[in-house]
């Protein structure tokens, strides 16, 4: 991590005091081995040895999403095919970092299943961890447990009314593969026949014309996300309410 400039670039006539260290943290989710995983790093200083989210300080003239993607590349040194990136929330409780006032803008990112990431310069190592083993526990440095929980909840919620689920899939995918995304992220079973009817009557998929038998059985039609898709699924696919 490269520390940013300590001094404010004050313009003539104005004097602005810098009052915090601004960072970004990234909750990068994917599905591996039929389970939802989040990318974590082994921290060096501070909190050496603890697991934490990838992230770091924002550079002086860098926009926030750019900082998120840069830190993801720096710390994992793997070309991650980030298919979705959205701002999650900002965490600024005093004392959340022992060094100073560090305020972190968290981002939620989604990627399809990819090869194992390798450690970069800043991190001793980076690895995918199953989300199930993290939720409810206190396993991560700083307030990163909370950030992961918020990110997972955002993803679960957005599956209902957006096309986010497709970001977990390769470019071309079958309806059943998309259904498995929903089942894994929501932790529920969905009726394959009703799901198929619902998704093919939604407006964001288009058939590629190809079929595949990679899941066995009768060949399944391959679909892709329409280029003119809005990102909103209409009508929504609502979760069961307990």
- Residues at the contact surface with its own copies, assessed by CB under 8 A: 3-6, 8-11, 14-22, 45-46, 57-64, 87, 89-90, 92-94, 97-103, 105, 234-235, 241
Tell me if 44 contacts DNA by CB under 7 A. no
72 forms bridges with which residues in the sheet?
Answer: none
Q: Among 202, 228, 210, 227, which Cα is nearest to 174's?
A: 210
Provide the 3-class DSSP secondary structure of residue 68. helix
Instruction: Kindly tell me which of 87 and 200 has the beta carbon lying closer to DNA.
Output: 200
Residue 15 site contact among DNA, its own copies, none (CB < 5 to 8 Å, cut-off depends on kind): its own copies
Minimum distance from residue 214 beta carbon to its own copies (Å): 35
Q: What is the C-alpha separation between 109 and 127, in angstroms, rounded?
A: 15
Scan residues 197-236 and list those touching DNA (CB under 7 A): 197-198, 200, 211, 213, 215-221, 235
Instruction: Kindly tell me which of 70 and 198 has the beta carbon lying closer to DNA.
Output: 198
Residue 202 site contact among its own copies, DNA, none (CB < 5 to 8 Å, cut-off depends on kind): none
Over the window 150 to 179, marking each residue x when it contacts DNA by CB under 7 A and - when it does not, the resulting string is ------------------------xxx---
Minimum distance from residue 138 beta carbon to its own copies (Å): 21
- H-helix or E-strand containing 161? helix 144-161
Q: Are 41 and 52 in contact (CB under 8 A)?
A: yes
Instruction: Kindly tell me which of 20 and 176 has the beta carbon lying closer to its own copies.
Output: 20
DSSP states of 165-187: GGGGS-SSEEHHHHHHHHHHHHT
Minimum distance from residue 178 beta carbon to its own copies (Å): 22
Residue 197 site contact among DNA, its own copies, none (CB < 5 to 8 Å, cut-off depends on kind): DNA
Minimum distance from residue 199 beta carbon to DNA (Å): 9
Cα–Cα distances (Å) from 92 to 46, 53, 105, 129, 177, in that order, read: 18, 16, 9, 25, 38
Q: Among 176, 207, 172, which Cα is nearest to 191's?
A: 176
Q: Among 202, 132, 134, which Cα is nearest to 165's?
A: 202
Residues of this chain that bind DNA (CB under 7 A): 174-176, 191-194, 196-198, 200, 211, 213, 215-221, 235, 238, 240
């Amino acid at each position: 991590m490269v520390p940013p400039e300590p001094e404010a670039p004050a313009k003539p006539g104005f004097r602005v005091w810098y009052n915090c260290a601004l960072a970004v943290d990234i909750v990068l989710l994917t599905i591996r081995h039929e389970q939802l995983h989040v990318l974590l790093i082994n921290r060096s200083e501070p909190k050496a040895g603890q697991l934490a989210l990838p992230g770091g300080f924002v550079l002086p003239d860098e926009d926030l999403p750019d900082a998120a993607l840069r830190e993801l590349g720096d710390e994992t040194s793997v070309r991650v095919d980030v298919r979705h990136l959205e701002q999650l929330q900002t965490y600024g409780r005093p004392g959340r970092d022992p060094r100073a006032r560090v305020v972190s803008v968290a981002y939620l990112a989604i990627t399809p299943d990819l090869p194992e990431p390798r450690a970069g310069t800043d991190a001793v190592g980076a690895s995918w961890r199953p989300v199930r083993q993290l939720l409810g526990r206190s396993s991560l440095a700083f307030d990163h447990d909370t950030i992961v929980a918020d990110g997972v909840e955002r993803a679960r919620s957005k599956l209902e009314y957006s096309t986010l689920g497709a970001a977990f899939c390769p470019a071309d995918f079958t309806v059943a593969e998309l259904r498995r995304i929903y089942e894994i992220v929501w932790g529920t079973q969905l009726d394959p026949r009703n799901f198929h009817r619902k998704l093919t009557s939604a407006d964001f998929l288009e058939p590629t014309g190809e079929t595949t038998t990679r899941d066995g059985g009768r060949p399944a039609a391959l679909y892709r996300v329409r280029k003119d898709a809005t990102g909103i699924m209409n009508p929504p696919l609502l979760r069961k309410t307990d």
